[in-house]
Structure 1
Amino acid sequence: MKDNTNEHKEKGLLFQLDEEHYNELSSYLIEIKYKKNQFLLKEGDFCKHVGFLKKGVVRSYYLNDNGCEINFNFYFDNHLFSDYESFLCNMDSKINIQAMEDSDILLLSKHDLETLYQKEDYWREFGRKITGIMYFETKKRFEDLLYLSPEQRYNNLFSEYPKIFQSIALKHIASYLGIKPQSLSRIRSRSIKR
């Protein structure tokens, strides 16, 4: 008997698709296993896919003027990710997307998404939902950096992903929070003492 647990989990997270539409979408999805440190996208390339992370950890980052890696976001199980600006506008990506551990990923190409759009309104609404998810995730990230203290950002990150320190190096977490690793150590010490 086929185990549909993961299938239903994906289905629920991919916008509660009904059986017919889920099966149709599945015929377009490409499943790829990425090894730790393998790149899904490099700066300067076109982003040709939207990814759905079934299992693993992925980060997006850019290089600043000094050549330092600045982490923009982390993605965990059951998250959508992409360089959506590059994807939508057919422009060179300004970011890198890299697997932080061995990861199972479903990819939907821009060509296949546009093919679905031509079929029926259902898929155009699906595309709007993807756009909404990407927009609000980016907006939240910018608002966190603008309005929250590093300690608040740390607390939010830790409460949302309590196992983050098991899979992501401290230097990457510090970069994501916009602080030095030493500052992260102090914040963690204060947090542990509470």
Structure 2
Amino acid sequence: MQANTRFFAKRRFLKATLLGLGGTAAVAAGGVGYLTLGKRYREQYGKLLVLDGHLADIVHALAEASVPRGPLFPSIVEAEIVTRFDEELFFVSDGISSDFRTAFYLLEFLPLAKGRLSRFSRLTLEERRAFLSEACDTTDDTVRAVLYNLPAVMRWYYYGHPSAWKAIGYDGPFMGLPEKRSEQRLLYAQLVGRTPRA
């Protein structure tokens, strides 16, 4: 009887172990699928060196929610925010790049922590803007830093692009001389297979 009990105990242990491993594998596969599902913006940018498919979606979604819309204002793609940001992240230290990636993933899952049933990049534009306004009222210093600083970075790149200058009444640099392309920009353009940005 004792041997029989041990046999059933081992069977129960093996069954629980297999079920646990199977469940873990299923959750992991589902999580990967959830993260990569519906890359809405990624295909617009071609090859990127730092921003993987999902991060490109988050950056694009945040940029859309951080800058104005209107007939004179360029789109996020026209203002090259995602590709410009990817270029910058490629040349900074791994620590800085990792901090930015962490901040963007925090932003992406923050709506779920706040009771919404969607990640940030899957909210509508109006929902994203409303969420950024609502979530800023927080006592958490880390969350506040992410919610204030990431949109500021998006606006920095947006208004620094010549396509946005007309909308804000900026005539461009005083001397009107064309910008000299740095070795960094030339290298990045070569690595991604694009014409160097002006």
TM-score, structure 2 as length reference: 0.33
Larger fraction in helix: 2
Indicate the structure (1 or 2) with the bigger Cα radius of gyration.
2
